[in-house]
Chain A
Amino acid sequence: MRLVLVGTSHHHAPIELRERVALDREQARDLAARLAAGGGEAVCLSTCNRTELYVVGADAEAVERAAVAALAELEPEVEQALYRLHDHAAALHLFRVAAGLDSLVPGEGEILGQVRAAHELGTTAMLLDRAFRQALHAGRKVRVQTAIGESPASVSSAAAALAEQVFGDLDGRLILLVGAGKISEQAARNLLTRHARIAFVANRTLDRAEELARRFGAEPVPLERIEEQLVAADVVVASTSAPGYVLDAETVARAVRQRRGRRLLLIDLAVPRDLDPAIRELEGCYLFDVDDLEAIVAETLAGRRSEAERAEAIVNAEAEKFHEWHASLDVIPAIASLRARAEEIREGELRKAEGLLGRLDESQRKAVESITAQIVNKLLHLPTVRLKQAAAAADGVVYAEAVRHLFGLGEDEH
């Protein structure tokens, strides 16, 4: 059976094209079932960065044509942006995808869950089941053995990670959002996933503050009253469109005096900046603006790229194991026939010698059985190993035919 991959990703197609071939869960399940009809296997992996069809069938060309047609049905233009990979190359690609090595941000963690979901929705049997299980194993191994996914890859996740560098556990830490725009909200969501609490939302227009505060169960505050909340908050996230500083150093200094030594992290996501850089000089205050966060993210991405080299080695080793297993499928019927033939001969010869063996007691008979079985096993061990090696080196079919010919395997059936 041949493994075929047909797909497109952020490397080959712009978002305008990718979104036209994106599949939801139902569509992915139905398409996989359709492609697998007639005894094949299929899995559709569709994320915001890629749509890929992994299909198994006896005729690789026919399988590839069917997969291309299925995607072209969704959007004819996509055909120019498709990649087509077979067998080892297809498996290696899947393993790299699961490890996050083909992602826009190397090592991003979401893809592993998406690969798992695609596997669950697919129509799989021996080959694709094994390929996806091993890909998920490779993905987990990469994340455990390398630091590729440890550091944040976006400004908002970097802000949350910095909060952890100051406070450790963010459980129950109070967040003051200054500005009720999308950027504040995104940063706040990242902090919320780490169990911080959005306590106050301050905005120049109170209506917008109330709307966002309601969503987070926070208290809306007019921008003029922000100083009072500074005493209680642990993290300030600012992203207004104000032309000047919304918070100056004197205001923060007054609040700091009432904070009894508690630390304050200030994240300024606005351009022009909302927070006076002189705040940085105040004891217990840690201020990061957009440039700082972007520099930190760039550095962590560089770290991810260097970890990616180690991850590639892990993925290659896992893909090689899969390749050996897949290749061995070509020779396994020949090996099974050879062993069955040898066993048949052994049992036949033992039956012929029944007259002599009849005089042996039970333990002696068992010893003869064991010795003959060992002889057969030892004789067949090396040919079995060599056949599997040949299969891995792409000569498996030739060797399997040679074995069938030399030992006359399957001739009785003909």
Chain B
Amino acid sequence: MPRGHHDVGGLPGAGPIDQSEHELSDWEILADAINQALGAKGVKRTDEMRRAREEMDSAAYRDMTYYERWIASIEAILIEKKILNKQEIDRKLAEFDSKWGEP
């Protein structure tokens, strides 16, 4: 087992940590709300979300922002628990895209 892509503590060459704050986008706040709601309903636990992030494709993990990883983890766990399936999610995304997506 190689060192996990999430487990970067102590690696040389990482440089200083960017501690600047940024304004949250609406979708990031929504990501947090969905996460909280699923937790409150007992659908998933924080540890499952962490495991989902660890199991992602490493290149995808590195390319994603913080809340993108949250959303991808939620999707993976909901599919794993058979609450949603990939086709349903993709269909809904296509629907949103045709309604509000960039032309």
**Bound together:** no
